[in-house]
Amino acid sequence: MSSEQALTTRAADFSAWYNEVVMRAELADYSPVRGCMVIRPRGYRIWELMQRALDDMFKAAGHENAYFPLFIPQSFLAKEAAHVAGFAPQTAVVTHGGGKELEEPLVVRPTSETIIYAMFAKWIQSYRDLPVLLNQWVNIVRWEMRTRLFLRTTEFLWQEGHTAHATAEEAETEARLILGIYRRFAEEWMAMPVITGIKTDSEKFAGAVRTYAIEALMQDNRALQAGTSHHLGQNFARAFEVRYQTMAGDMEYVWSTSWGVSTRLIGGLVMTHSDDRGLVCPPRLAPLHVVIVPIWKSDTDRQGVLEAAQRALQALADAGISAQVDDRDAVKPGAKYYHWEARGVPVRLEIGPRDVAQGQAVLARRAGGKSTVPLTGLPAAVREAMDQIQAALLEAARERREANSVRQVRGKRELIDLMNGSAGLVYAGYCGDAACETAVKEETKATIRVLPDEEFRSSPAPATCVWCGRPAVTEAVWAKAY
RNA sequence: CGGGGCGUGGCGCAGGCCGGUAGCGCGCCUGGUUUGGGACCAGGAGGUCGCCGGUUCAAAUCCGGCCGCCCCGACCA
């Protein structure tokens, strides 16, 4: 009967479900190296689509791609105090090369601020050289204690943008601009709604003045930090002597930013949309848009059906829609449905003898719903279905997030109960004292994910700190996080 | 690093207490019949039972040590 067994359900064991979805969809596999993963073609295709969309947006905003080395002299990392404190415990260090011990150990980049600022110092002399708007798509290494496919691996892929500006205002604008790009990408491409805001000091990037982030809520009601954008002030400029001469002739340190999203987004994509049958992938990031399943009873049927399937395939290909005919013999249609559902193909076209006779196909949507569409004009029908699916996924995710968000939480007791229960995002007043944040974490494991931007804040604004009861200076979004 | 689970054909597992040289389901290969939600028949390939050592005539099984993986926690995108 069954060819592939059912997945562990989300309700039974979310972690096991997640691993099985990733493996079954052939997005990734465990590698021989502890904590590292192999990204398989299907997973890498999603990353390529993400890269293309983001890269276009970065470039449209004036950024250029470059490449800085994987190896960073160990002394560079130590130049910025907070930065070294934050990253030193997580670095992999190369001590030997060419069979000899190196004079100075080389750190495998955990992020590239230090080596980039060393170069900025050479390249920037005048205000005329600013701004510098760079980005690079690279791998980085952070020695993690505990890893999970896509969400946290020792080596991962990301983009890191690094910019230098003449004023604090420009750097601030840049950091916010990128946050907006991340948000737009998450919502329009990943169909993953996010909350934007600023991080508290405890969650801030090591070396930043301010860290902005997009946060999404996963199906197990844990929050995922999906992207960060940092205003670095003059911290790195001072550490690396990156100065420029102003119009007035004075020497000033540059103001800078850095920002990144990683292959972690793929994990977020999986945990936002997928179901107990496997991967659900928004059409705009789907490795394969359409699978065509021919169905036949006799050899005569078979020939006509396969011909119709091939014509459909060609029509879709001509329209720029990626499609594939699953003409495997000896596998029944039902088995093929499960097969492609597990792999997250958004649209399935079933073409049988009855359909051929009537000049139509059955269009089935991965997230549910079947209809018949005429074979003429198929690309348009598929396009429309994919647009609807893309929109419906975002809407469903937004509804789920809101249904699992709680606002106007007033007291300590209520916060504890919510966090020990099944709450997702909890909005509450915050006095700004790190002691309250720490206390909540110790009591509930929840942390402040973000101090939300205006559009996400509650009305009326909470008046008191949910923990200590003193006047609130801001509202905070609390959640258990990945 | 602490707690829990687990290492047996590609995948999922049984066998282990009561040692006798490995079995089941799925997948894979060949042929045939099949195909509108996980097909069936017949034949076949594939495993030094994680590694090292010990006990024994004989070890997947008993004993000792080691390694690895997954999950939960402490660190983090």
Task: Identify nearest nucleotide to residue A111 by CA to C1′ distance.
Answer: B77
> What is the rounded distance in angstroms from the CA atom of residue A409 to the CA atom of residue A429?
8
**Confidence at A29, pLDDT banded by 50, 70, 90:** confident
Distance A200 CA to B69 C1' (A): 36
A207-211 average pLDDT score: 95
Q: Which residue is nearest to nucleotide B1 (CA to C1')?
A: A145
Distance A86 CA to B67 C1' (A): 32
Task: Identify nearest nucleotide to residue A342 by CA to C1′ distance.
Answer: B38
Query: At what angle are helices A264-273 and A378-403 packed, to 10 degrees?
Result: 90
Bases along strand B below 7 A from a protein CB: 1, 12, 26-28, 32-40, 68-77
**Confidence at A4, pLDDT banded by 50, 70, 90:** low
List pLDDT tens digits, range A367-402. 989 999 999 999 999 999 999 999 999 999 999 999
Distance A31 CA to B8 C1' (A): 21
Confidence at residue A266, expressed as pLDDT on a 0 to 100 scale: 96
Please report the DSSP string for A190-228 in residue order. S----EEEE--GGGS-TT-SEEEEEEEE-TTS-EEEEEE
Q: Give the CATH superfamily of A14-273.
A: Bira Bifunctional Protein; Domain 2 (3.30.930.10)
Distance A39 CA to B7 C1' (A): 24
Confidence at residue A117, expressed as pLDDT on a 0 to 100 scale: 97
List pLDDT tens digits, range A150-168. 999 889 999 999 999 999 9
Distance A243 CA to B38 C1' (A): 66
List pLDDT tens digits, range A106-126. 999 999 999 999 999 999 999
Confidence at residue A304, expressed as pLDDT on a 0 to 100 scale: 92
State the fold for domain A283-392. Rossmann fold (3.40.50)
Distance A11 CA to B61 C1' (A): 37
Q: What percent of chain A has pLDDT over 90?
A: 80
Confidence at residue A30, expressed as pLDDT on a 0 to 100 scale: 83
Closest CA to A141 of A129, A156, A130, A151: A156
CATH number for the domain whose boundaries are A407-479: 3.30.110.30
Task: Identify nearest nucleotide to residue A15 by CA to C1′ distance.
Answer: B71
CB atoms within 10 A of CB A276: 14
Sign of CA dihedral A146, A148, A154, A157: negative
Q: Which residue is nearest to nucleotide B26 (CA to C1')?
A: A3
Task: Identify nearest nucleotide to residue A329 by CA to C1′ distance.
Answer: B35
Task: Identify nearest nucleotide to residue A153 by CA to C1′ distance.
Answer: B77
List pLDDT tens digits, range A419-462. 888 889 999 999 999 999 999 988 888 999 999 999 999 999 99
Q: Which residue is nearest to nucleotide B27 (CA to C1')?
A: A3
Please report the DSSP string for A292-355 in residue order. EEE--SSHHHHHHHHHHHHHHHHHHHHTT--EEE---TTS-HHHHHHHHHHTT-SEEEEE-HHH
Between A145 and A209, the higher pLDDT residue: A209
Distance A32 CA to B52 C1' (A): 21
Residue A413's SS3 state is helix
Confidence at residue A192, expressed as pLDDT on a 0 to 100 scale: 97
Which residues lie below 8 Å from residue A405, measured CB to CB, with a gap of 6+? Answer: A217, A424, A425, A426, A427
Confidence at residue A9, expressed as pLDDT on a 0 to 100 scale: 87
pLDDT at A2 over 60: no
Query: What residue ranges do the domains of chain A occupy?
Result: 14-273, 283-392, 407-479
> What is the rounded distance in angstroms from the CA atom of residue A100 to the CA atom of residue A102?
6
Q: Which residue is nearest to nucleotide B76 (CA to C1')?
A: A144
Closest CA to A445 of A427, A418, A472: A418
Between A410 and A282, the higher pLDDT residue: A282
Distance A2 CA to B16 C1' (A): 30
- Share the mean pLDDT of chain A: 94
Task: Identify nearest nucleotide to residue A5 by CA to C1′ distance.
Answer: B26
Task: Identify nearest nucleotide to residue A1 by CA to C1′ distance.
Answer: B38
What is the token pair recorded at A133? 């708007």
> What is the rounded distance in angstroms from the CA atom of residue A457 to the CA atom of residue A481?
20
A243-266 average pLDDT score: 97
Distance A296 CA to B14 C1' (A): 39
CB atoms within 10 A of CB A247: 9
Task: Identify nearest nucleotide to residue A226 by CA to C1′ distance.
Answer: B77
Distance A219 CA to B55 C1' (A): 53
DSSP-derived pairing of the beta strands A405-409 and A360-365: unpaired
Report the residue count for chain A.
482
Between A27 and A16, the higher pLDDT residue: A27
Distance A252 CA to B72 C1' (A): 50
Confidence at residue A1, expressed as pLDDT on a 0 to 100 scale: 29
Phi and psi of A459, rounded to 5°? -130, 120
A30-49 average pLDDT score: 89
Query: At what angle are helices A299-318 and A378-403 packed, to 10 degrees?
Result: 70
Confidence at residue A7, expressed as pLDDT on a 0 to 100 scale: 85
Q: Which residue is nearest to nucleotide B74 (CA to C1')?
A: A145
A313-322 average pLDDT score: 97
Distance A379 CA to B39 C1' (A): 32
Instruction: Report the first-to-last Cα separation within chain A, whole angstroms.
Output: 38
Confidence at residue A297, expressed as pLDDT on a 0 to 100 scale: 86
Task: Identify nearest nucleotide to residue A7 by CA to C1′ distance.
Answer: B12
Q: What percent of chain A has pLDDT over 70?
A: 99
**Least confident span in A34-43, A46-55, A117-126, A158-167:** A34-43
What is the token pair recorded at A194? 């996010």
A183-209 average pLDDT score: 96
pLDDT at A315 over 90: yes
Distance A235 CA to B6 C1' (A): 48
Confidence at residue A3, expressed as pLDDT on a 0 to 100 scale: 39
Q: Which residue is nearest to nucleotide B34 (CA to C1')?
A: A330
pLDDT at A330 over 90: no
| Type of residue numbered A266 | I
pLDDT at A314 over 60: yes
A316-320 average pLDDT score: 97
CB A365 within 8 A of CB A306: no
Phi and psi of A322, rounded to 5°? -80, 125
Task: Identify nearest nucleotide to residue A35 by CA to C1′ distance.
Answer: B69
The residue whose two tokens read 């604008």 is A173
What is the token pair recorded at A422? 């099944």
